[in-house]
Chains A and B, each alone.
Chain A
Amino acid sequence: MKTNAQITAQRRLPAPPTVSTRLTLRDRLGAWRVRWGIGRMRYTVEPGLYAVGTPNDASPVLVSANYKLTFDSLRRELSGVDCWLLILDTKGINVWCAAGKGTFGTRELVARIEKTRLARYVSHKTLILPQLGASGVSAHEIKKQTGFTVTYGPVRAEDIKAFLAAGSKANPKMRAVRFNLWDRLVLTPMELVPTTKVSLMVFGALFLLNLFAKRPFGLYDFLAYAVAVLIGTVLAPLLLPILPGKSFAFKGWFIGALGTAGIAWACGWFAPPDLLLGIGYMLALPAHAAYLAMNFTGSSTYTSPSGVLKEMKIALPFILPALAAGIILILIKAFI
Chain B
Amino acid sequence: MKHRYLKNVSTLTLQAEKCIGCGLCAEVCPHNVFTLNERKARIADKDACMECGACALNCPSQALGVHAGVGCAAAIIQSWFTGKEPTCGCSDDGGGCC
A residues apposed to B, CB below 8 Å: 37, 41-42, 91-94, 96-97, 99-101, 131-132, 134-140, 152, 155, 170, 172, 175-177, 179, 190-191, 193-194, 240-241, 246-248, 294-312
Contact = CB atoms under 8 A, between A and B. Distances in A.
Given A247-B6, A302-B50, A295 B91 contact: no
B70 A305 contact: yes
B57 A304 contact: no
A152 B24 CA distance: 9
Contact of A138 (B58, B67, B89): B58
Nearest to B50: A304
Nearest to B49: A304
Nearest to A233: B96
Nearest to B74: A295
Contacts of B58: 134, 137-140
A94 B3 contact: no
A177 B54 CA distance: 14
Interface in B21-72: 24, 27-28, 30-32, 48-54, 57-58, 60, 67-72
Those 6 A-B pairs whose CB atoms lie nearest each other, nearest first:
A298-B72, A134-B54, A134-B28, A305-B69, A298-B97, A135-B54
Interface residues of B, number: 49
Contacts of B1: 241
Contact of A41 (B3, B74, B94): B94
A177 B1 CA distance: 12
A305 B94 contact: no
14 contacts: A41-B91, A41-B94, A97-B97, A134-B54, A135-B57, A138-B57, A246-B7, A248-B73, A297-B71, A298-B95, A302-B5, A304-B51, A305-B51, A306-B10
Given A138-B58, A304-B9, A306-B51, A101 B76 contact: no
Contacts of B76: 305, 308-309, 312
